[in-house]
A and B are shown apart, each in its own frame.
Chain A
Amino acid sequence: MKISDIIQILDAQLLTPQADLDREVHTACGSDMMSDVLAFVKDQSVLITGLNNPQVVRTADMMDMICIVFVRGKRPDAGILALANERDMAILCTEHTMFTACGLLYEQGLRGGVH
């Protein structure tokens, strides 16, 4: 799917208007523990998280992820969005919980990385 599809599926808001929404994403990772995200290099492209601080963007950057979805209506501040813009990342926020957001995306074909 494309980043634009994620926006639709999760009824999400795009917080980085200049991001390229046509980029393809196939795999995702959902976690609030950044070291767990860093522990498994699997070429995932989307990070789904309820954590709201700059280390989320830094972690996603280390993993070459291109899209972060903040769940439960978490809204990252301007500093976090600036970090994301520097890295050409798309930042989305959705009212759905982590479980529901992951379920909806899985249902539409997004998968976890290959172990």
Chain B
Amino acid sequence: MANGEEKIVLQYQVPGDDFTRAGEASADLKARLKRLGFPAAAVRKAAISLYEGEINLAIHAGGGEIRVEVTPERIEMWLDDEGPGIPDIALAMSEGYSTAPDEVRSLGFGAGMGLPNMKKYTDSFEITSEVGRGTHIRMAVEIGRS
């Protein structure tokens, strides 16, 4: 990685009240990874996964926090919120399942493909959630496997 740095840590706050700003973190991550010279496929997978996660923080959780650690081997991302939580994670992970209201659908989201997309594009994906407490996701893209 550039300048011989071992690890780059990035942190972002996702607002819960401004849908138009969701996507700023993933756009920033994408631009940085490109500048660092990471392979295009890996950059895209990480950016899409973070983008879907960011949208979820904005529309389902009332906002949240993102932490990204970038090393030459992997791009690792944590998304944490203190939103309503997910009662049935297996159901939420299935393609097409969505509780998004019509107003979110009219904005182009709420197809129920976000969590499945995140799992599909990352090499490891873990989600834990507690109703009334919040949701935590850790996911990573391995550079060698892209």
* Residues of A bordering B, CB below 8 Å: 32-36, 38-39, 41, 49, 51, 53-56, 58-59, 61-64, 79
A-B pair count, CB < 8 Å, reads: 69
| Complex: A115 Cα to B112 Cα, angstroms | 21
B51 at the interface (CB under 8 A from A): yes
Contact A35 B20 (CB under 8 A): no
| Complex: A38 Cα to B114 Cα, angstroms | 9
| Complex: A15 Cα to B6 Cα, angstroms | 43
| Complex: A41 Cα to B121 Cα, angstroms | 10
Closest partner residue, chain A, to B45 (CB atom): A41
- Can you name 9 extra interface pairs (CB under 8 A) apart from A39-B120, A41-B48, A55-B55? A35-B114, A38-B51, A41-B44, A41-B45, A55-B108, A55-B109, A56-B108, A58-B27, A61-B30
Q: How many residues of B contact A (CB 8 A)?
A: 27
- What are the interface flags for B21-33 relative to A under an 8 Å C-beta threshold, 1 for contact and 0 otherwise? 0110011001000
Q: Of the candidates A35, A55, A79, which one forms a contact with B22 in the assembled complex, judged by CB atoms under 8 Å apart? A: A55
| Complex: A64 Cα to B30 Cα, angstroms | 10
B70 at the interface (CB under 8 A from A): no
Lowest 5 CB-CB distances: which A-B pairs, in order? A58-B23, A35-B113, A34-B108, A35-B111, A51-B108
Q: Of the candidates A36, A51, A56, which one forms a contact with B111 in the assembled complex, judged by CB atoms under 8 Å apart? A: A36
Question: CB-CB < 8 A to A55: which residues of B?
Answer: 19-20, 22-23, 55, 107-109
Contact B26 A62 (CB under 8 A): yes
The majority secondary structure among interface residues of chain B is helix
B79 at the interface (CB under 8 A from A): no
Closest partner residue, chain A, to B113 (CB atom): A35
Contact A62 B47 (CB under 8 A): yes
Q: Of the candidates B51, B110, B113, which one forms a contact with A58 in the assembled complex, judged by CB atoms under 8 Å apart? A: B51
Contact A35 B117 (CB under 8 A): yes
* Residues of B bordering A, CB below 8 Å: 19-20, 22-23, 26-27, 30, 40, 44-45, 47-48, 51-52, 55, 107-114, 116-117, 120-121
Most A CB within 10 A of own CB, among B19, B23, B26, B45: B23
Contact B113 A36 (CB under 8 A): yes
14 residue pairs from A and B, CB less than 8 Å apart: A33-B108, A33-B109, A34-B109, A35-B109, A38-B52, A38-B117, A39-B113, A39-B117, A41-B121, A55-B22, A58-B23, A59-B51, A62-B26, A62-B44
Question: CB-CB < 8 A to B26: which residues of A?
Answer: 58, 62
